[in-house]
Structure 1
Amino acid sequence: MSLFSIRKLAGAGLLALSALAVFPAHAADKVRIGYWTSGVSLGYGSVLEATDFLARHGIEAQYVHFPEVNGPIRALAAGSIDLAFGAPLAGVFSAAAEGVPVRIFAATQPADVQFVVPADSPIQHLQELKGKKIGMSPAGSSVAAIASAVLSGNHGIAANDFSLIGGNESRLVQFVAQKQVDGAALRSVTIAQLGDALQVRRLGSFAQEWQKLTRSDAVPYIGVGTASAAFADQQPEVVARVIAGLRDTLAWGKSHPDEIVAILRKSANLPEADARAYVSLWDSMNRASFEPEEIDTLRRQHQVFAESGLVKGALDDSLFSTQPYALSKNIR
Structure 2
Amino acid sequence: MPGPVLARRGFLSGAVGLAAALTLAACGDDDTAALPTPTTGQAAQSWTFTDDRGKKLAQPKIPTKIVAQVGAAAALWDFGVRPIAVFGPHKLADGSKDPQAGNVDITKVTGLGNVWDEFNVEQYIALQPDLLVSSMYLKGTLWYVPEKSKDTIEQVAPAAGIMLTGKTATQVISRYEELARTLGADMAGVPEAKARMEAATKELARFKDLKVLMVSGGADAFWIVNPPEYPDAVHLKDAGLDIVTPSKVDEGGFFQTLSWENADEYDADVILYDTRTQALKPEEMMKKPTFAKLPAVEAGQLYPWNAEAPYSYQGYATFLEGLLANLKKAKPLK
Q: TM-score, normalized by length of structure 2?
A: 0.28
**Structure ranking higher in helix proportion:** 1
Larger Rg: 2
Q: TM-score, normalized by length of structure 1?
A: 0.28
